[in-house]
Amino acid sequence: MRMTKLCGILTAALLFSALPVYSPSPAEVSADYDYAGSECEPAHDTSRDVQTEGVGNPFGYGERNTPADASTEEIRAINHAMTVQEVKYALYKEIDEHWDLISVRLGQPEREKVYALFLGLGTRESTLGGNGDGADIETAQQDGFGVNSAHAYGTLQTAVTAFADCNPLFMKEDNVPEMYQYTFNESNFYDAIVSNHMGIRKILHFVELCINTHNMTGYHVVRNSLKGFNTGWCNMAEDDGAYTTYADEICAMAQFYYNEGHLYDNIFTWTGSPAAAEYRTADRWDWWGDTEPSMAEVPEQSGAVKGDVNLDGSVNIADAVMMQHFLLRDLKVLNSQGRENADMDSDGRLDAFDMALLRKAIIEQ
């Protein structure tokens, strides 16, 4: 049986998603053909308090998923090999890294609901790699690299417009100073972790517009930020038709992952699938809750822990991987707390001496 994911427009009258066709094997498909993939144990330590600590980056993702000097073909091959579970945890890594900011901006104190929301968005755009493509999904590239504002890549199908130094005729997205904005080049664009980072940043770009320009409150902020991600315009629509197949469908699929216990395994669904049928209700956004989205200042994460470069609350090999990427490729993506934690000898510089001390600290634990 073949299932087709119906994709929509990505940015204002220009952005068009791909229409991948999915053919899960009978052994992997549910009895009602409404989801596919396999159940498996969570990758993270389940004794963690996910609400306060996050999942802890169990796959050891750094600020990049691939070497910055790799070719586009090599980068895409690495992302192509990711499992659905790895794709999910790659999203969680970026959410956890910016949790305080995301929680305040979206008005959502429950971390797993935010995980689920971005799984819904990833499903709407790429089906979380469940079609065998890993994080290796690309759309609207036919006009050439960086020419079409619809050109999008990755789990969230993050468009070129999200990046700094893209075509100056494209709409600027420079209103999220709390998150690093990567320069637009092929190495950044095709890296799954970078693309996730920029996709989350893109949602927060529209959150700022919804709150400060359109004076929205409550779930309307999130709903219209998703509409903005899809169309380029986050103004309030006149009727629900503008939301039905995108923002509201994302909300329904998010509830499938959240309520059915598929946040951490290899299970995925697709747009219009019966899997989310019971969640396609007129009041589906009640699930999201009523905490108010806010543009309040978000303080830098407090509590320096030497060696905790990725700010996950522990010091381990994942911190060494991130530090190595930073030193070798000068990515300049560590926030001030991450930099402070990485400065092992407290001399105000990040260098090979800090890397050696970090490795020593990990070994001696």
Residue 365, token pair as written in the block = 């634990």
Whether 27 shows a pLDDT value over 70: the answer reads: no
In whole angstroms, give the CA distance from residue 307 to residue 96.
17
DSSP structure class, residue 4: E
Q: CATH 1.10.530.60 spans which residues of the chain?
A: 3-299
Look up the pTM and report it.
0.79
Instruction: Please tell me whether residue 339 adopts helix, strand or coil conformation.
Output: helix
Q: What is the pLDDT averaged over residues 339-364?
A: 84
Whether 126 shows a pLDDT value over 90: the answer reads: yes
Give me the pLDDT at residue 3, please: 33
What is the helix (H) or strand (E) element at residue 311, kind and residue range?
none
Lowest mean pLDDT among 79-93, 163-177, 349-363: 349-363
pLDDT digits (tens, 9 = 90+) for 197-216: 999 999 999 999 999 999 99
Give me the pLDDT at residue 26, please: 40
The vertex-330 CA angle with 318 and 317, nearest 5°, equals: 10
pLDDT mean across residues, the chain: 87
Q: What is the pLDDT averaged over residues 295-315?
A: 77
Give me the pLDDT at residue 14, please: 31
Contact 248, 121 (CB under 8 A): no
Give me the pLDDT at residue 313, please: 73
Residues 6+ apart with CB under 8 A from 169: none
Whether 268 shows a pLDDT value over 80: the answer reads: yes
The vertex-60 CA angle with 229 and 137, nearest 5°, equals: 35
- Fold assignment, 3-299: Lysozyme (1.10.530)
Task: Choose which CATH entry (1.10.1330.10, 3.60.15.10, 1.20.1530.20, 3.10.129.10) describes domain 305-365.
Answer: 1.10.1330.10
Between the ranges 49-63, 229-243, 333-347, where is the mean pLDDT highest?
229-243
Helix axes 99-106, 192-208, angle to 10 degrees: 30
Residue 241, token pair as written in the block = 């038709």
Give me the pLDDT at residue 140, please: 86
* 256 against 329, higher pLDDT: 256
Give me the pLDDT at residue 329, please: 67
CA dist list (Å): 226 to 23, 41, 78, 234, 282: 28, 30, 28, 8, 17
Q: CATH 1.10.1330.10 spans which residues of the chain?
A: 305-365
Whether 289 shows a pLDDT value over 70: the answer reads: yes
Lowest mean pLDDT among 194-208, 229-243, 295-309, 324-338: 324-338
- Shortest CA distance to 249 belongs to which of 2, 8, 3? 8
**What sign has the CA pseudo-torsion 25, 27, 28, 32?**
positive
Q: What is the pLDDT averaged over residues 38-67?
A: 92
Report the 10 Å Cβ neighbour count for 225.
26
